[in-house]
Amino acid sequence: MSDDDAEDETPAVELGEGTPVEGAPLARPASRLTWPVERSEVVRREGETVVRTPDGPQTLETLLEDIETTYFQSRQEFVGELEAVIGDGPIPTN
């Protein structure tokens, strides 16, 4: 395939001018941690990370205040407990 061929191709899906969403998906800070991990270590390393929630962007530290677990055995446990606090629903756009 030559460079000219690549320029003639159009993208399979056209991307629009979407409204940006503030904060990171919960999966992003969860992927940067090593499991198992203590809640205090999560707060130390990722507490200031702003994540997307249906109620608007919030810091991970604020969300963890509503969780009683002090030690997360796995990424799935961590994400599950946070999703229980966050809830589900549409994420507001700016």
Interval 32-86: pLDDT, tens? 999 999 999 999 999 999 999 998 899 999 999 999 999 999 999 999 999 999 9
Pairwise CA distance, residues 64 & 56, whole Å: 16
Q: Assess whether pLDDT exceeds 70 at residue 13.
A: no
- List C-alpha distances in Å: 34 to 14, 31, 37, 78: 36, 8, 7, 11
56: region left, alpha or beta (phi > 0 left; psi from -120 to 50 alpha): left
pLDDT band with cut points at 50, 70 and 90 for residue 3? low
Q: Count CB atoms within 10 A of the CB of residue 36.
A: 13
pLDDT band at 20 (very low <50, low <70, confident <90, very high): confident
**Cβ-based neighbours of 32, under 8 Å, separated by 6 or more:** 45, 46
